[in-house]
Amino acid sequence: MEISETALLMGCPLFSGVPAEDLPELLSALDARRQDFRRGSWLLRQGDTPVRLGILLSGRAHILREDFWGNRDIIAPLSPGELFGEAYACAGVPAGVDVQAEEDGAVLFLEVSRLSGVPGGADLLENLLSATARKNLLLNEKLSHVTRRTTRDKLLSYLSREAARQGSTFTIPFDRQQLADYLAVDRSAMSAELGKLRREGLLDFRKNRFTLLRRPEEHR
């Protein structure tokens, strides 16, 4: 494994508190398997029953769900160091989501059933529980966006949250279609609303980089 990937794993929530010198032996005990992938590859498919959790080493991916007619709902983006598939692997149930690569990269798969049997396994399980809880909080955050009544309100809810997290000028991990899929809105309607918000002086943007300028209340 590359040095940069080892450093990334040391910052992964699953390995919090694990000494760097213990990581190689621990990965071997968990039957770690590194896999390169190309953009568009499926890292997890809905209906599969995974026995391994994945850790994204490089590249980007999306956790998503498609219905029978191909309508896509992006549930969450994945960045290097983040986990996926852990809940389904732990529960031993079919996955209810897909994970698809947005660009070339690599992933590390670990066998969940071995976690309790390795040295420090109790700490790893605690770390896994904590990471899963944080992911659930992010899903609840998305729910707070998509349950807003209008496209405008959904956009402002999401963008204001990102501004609070990153600062008034920030980058989002979505293109326009992906943002529409994430917020469960029509892309054309969303683009029109973004243009309106810009004309009102509430925000400015270029591609996936946004700047929030004023509070909406100032225009009411």
pLDDT of residue 220: 42
53-82: average pLDDT: 92
* pLDDT single digits (tens) 89-98: 999 999 999 9
pLDDT of residue 69: 78
* pLDDT single digits (tens) 157-201: 999 999 999 999 999 999 999 999 999 999 999 999 999 999 999
Q: How are strands ordered across the β-sheet holding 72-78?
A: 42-44, 98-101, 61-66, 72-78
117-121: average pLDDT: 89
Phi, psi of 136 (to 5 degrees): -65, -35
**75, two tokens:** 């549930």
Average confidence score pLDDT of the chain? 93
